[in-house]
Chain A
Amino acid sequence: MISKDQIQDLLLRTALLVAFSCLLAVIALAVHPGRIPWIGDWAHHVESMALKEGIPLVGTPEMRRIAEAGSHLILDARPLADYDAGHIPGAVPLPYDDLDAHYEQVRLMLVPAQPVVAYCSGGACDDSLLLCVHLRKQGFTNVILYAEGWAGWEDAP
């Protein structure tokens, strides 16, 4: 049976261990060449990564126009189960988590200048961004990203 003193001692040592770790972390952060800010702009991470990659972004009103006009091939980068549960009208499934199995099938619909727009769940989901990067590496130049994704599509009035 552990006494109250021993529990206090254990908790004190645990707190000391964690505090020492945090102190080392602060020192390391100050001298690390790849240091990061204490608080990052993760709310717009996907958008900023897209801009860094040179991939144009499209908002929900423009996405609605694209879907209605049928001017772009719309690619759904979410898992197939999510696509089956609901998707943007006219979208073709190309799940990024199983790209090898589905890519060849979709590639037949693509020509290099084909306008393509990709989306996934929205929010923190970056599968559509990774898909856009992959498509550009494959030589498809007219690729845009709908970063608000399915969540943005559903939430829009």
Chain B
Amino acid sequence: MGGCAVNWKNRIILLFRIVLGIVFLCAAVPKIISPYGFAEAVYRYQAAPYFMVNITAIFLPWVELVSGLCLLFSKTFRAASSLVVLGLMIFFTALVSVTVFRGIDISCGCFSVNPDAASIGWKKIAENTLMTVMAVFVFLDALKPPFTAHSAR
């Protein structure tokens, strides 16, 4: 009975991990293809100082891509990638919430750099909050010993 519950819990965590990994991969690719488009999306949030707009647009998609890949395929970097994913999800949720609260009407720039894509709103905040909760579970699971190759030996 207890073993069955643990099995189900593991399956749910695995599902969360796969969903987050795929979401991060899908989010990274359009930004990598169009760095200028993503820089414009960053600019429209009116949150980053101007000198940080391009730097964010250059580095962030690659952090998303590598984290997504490691979350899906790496045991060695699973805890590290889940920590990065959790940190990014907390940051994105806070950023979108503050932007909606400030009344800035922009597209998300999350999966598309098209400025005419659907605007951010409460639905996006709810989606991000849900993914943040998923990331918390994935991170806590990744922390369970052995959570690194070092401790697994």
Contact = CB atoms under 8 A, between A and B. Distances in A.
A123 interface: yes
A24 B115 CA distance: 26
A135 to B, nearest CB: 16
B59 A13 contact: no
24 contacts: A9-B150, A10-B79, A10-B80, A13-B77, A16-B80, A17-B84, A21-B62, A21-B63, A21-B65, A21-B66, A24-B65, A25-B59, A26-B58, A28-B32, A28-B62, A32-B35, A35-B35, A39-B54, A40-B50, A41-B50, A42-B39, A45-B40, A79-B105, A124-B44
A6 interface: yes
A32 B57 CA distance: 13
A43 B79 contact: no
Nearest to B103: A79
A14 B35 contact: no
Interface in A61-77: none
Given A6-B151, A42-B43, A13 B62 contact: no
B93 interface: no
B72 interface: no
Interface extent on B, as a size class?
A: 35 or more
B112 interface: no
Nearest to B51: A39
Interface string B86-126: 00000000000000000101000000000100010000000
Interface of B: 32, 34-36, 39-40, 43-44, 46, 50-51, 53-55, 57-59, 61-63, 65-67, 70, 76-77, 79-81, 83-84, 103, 105, 115, 119, 143, 145, 147-148, 150-151
A35 to B, nearest CB: 7
A111 to B, nearest CB: 27
A34 B36 contact: yes
A22 B150 CA distance: 25
A37 B54 contact: yes
B4 to A, nearest CB: 27
Interface string A22-59: 10111011001011111111110100000000000000
Contacts of B143: 2, 10
Given A28-B32, A34-B34, A82-B103, A10 B43 contact: no
Nearest to A26: B58
A148 interface: no
Nearest to A27: B62
A36 B61 CA distance: 14
Contacts of A34: 34-36
